[in-house]
Amino acid sequence: MAVPGTAPAAAVSRVDRRKARTRSALIQAAQGLLAAGRTDVSIQEITERADVGFGSFYNHFASKAELFHEAVLAALDTHVALLDTLTAHLRDPAEVFALSFRLTGRLQRVQPQLTRVMLSTGTSLLLADTGMPAQARRHIRAAAEQGRFDIADADVALAWVGGALLGLLQLLDARPELDAAALTDATAERVLLMLGLKRRDAVALASRPLPALPRG
């Protein structure tokens, strides 16, 4: 795929720009359908919603499942970039992980539709080697390498903590009366215990002051 902005404008052909627009329109259509819980649609319905030709679908995606999967990861990209920015000054990878976890749990109340898109893919999201799962895996691996986390395998640890986070987001989605910030921090504390931190360290990392998330 062409990435306008990484090359001089003149080097990006009109065809490349059109391709990028088509891909982006398909991903946006898929995000809308995911948020509405409507994954049982035909490819024709998706291309109509995106206002692109039916035939162009297969120039970009091998299947509907691939489109939906990429749509979820793309929807989370802004949050992933925000986490990178907000944690850039931290030295301790365990603290980077904890802060990212706590801000992602809070995402449910701030951007409920985005969270619903995330939940729609279920735990298969955790297998992705790009986007948010890849970022979390990097944080976990760095914390393990520095002896902060006591784990044998970052993929397994991500399955645990990512699964627990998705379970929490699902509960918050279903029960608007719950205190999302308090429950997310309680979850972060237990997740840090699960990753091998001492209780005192887990409590400390799960209760540091947090920057606020911008509304989506």
190 or 208, CB closer to its own copies? 190
Buried b / exposed e over 9-48, threshold 16 CB at 10 Å, is eeebeeeeeebbebbebbbebbbbbbbeeeeeeeeeebbe
Q: According to the binding rule CB under 8 A, does residue 135 interact with its own copies?
A: no
* Distance between first and last Cα of the chain: 27
Q: What does residue 134 show for φ and ψ, rounded to 5 degrees?
A: -65, -40
Q: According to the binding rule CB under 8 A, does residue 176 interact with its own copies?
A: no
Site string for its own copies, 141-160 (x = CB under 8 A): -----------x--xx-xxx
User: CB neighbours of 11 closer than 8 A, spacing ≥ 6?
Assistant: none
Return the residue of 123, 130, 146, 207 that touches its own copies, per CB under 8 A: 123
User: Both tokens of residue 39?
Assistant: 């994954």
Site string for its own copies, 187-216 (x = CB under 8 A): x--xx-xxx---------------------
19 or 49, CB closer to its own copies? 49
Q: According to the binding rule CB under 8 A, does residue 177 interact with its own copies?
A: no
Using CB under 8 A, which residues numbered 13 to 42 contact its own copies? 37, 39-41
Site string for its own copies, 39-58 (x = CB under 8 A): xxx-----------------
Helix (H) / strand (E) element for 78: namely helix 77-87
Query: What is the nearest approach in angstroms of its own copies to the Cβ of residue 86?
Result: 24
Which string of DSSP letters, residue by residue, matches 157-178?
HHHHHHHHHHHHHHHHHH-TTS
Taking a C-beta distance cutoff of 8 angstroms, is the pair 157, 195 a contact? Answer: yes
40 or 85, CB closer to its own copies? 40
Query: What is the nearest approach in angstroms of its own copies to the Cβ of residue 122?
Result: 3
16 or 155, CB closer to its own copies? 155
Q: According to the binding rule CB under 8 A, does residue 62 interact with its own copies?
A: no
Look at the block and give the residue holding tokens 């929490």: 168
Taking a C-beta distance cutoff of 8 angstroms, is the pair 157, 114 a contact? Answer: no
16 or 48, CB closer to its own copies? 48
Q: According to the binding rule CB under 8 A, does residue 74 interact with its own copies?
A: no
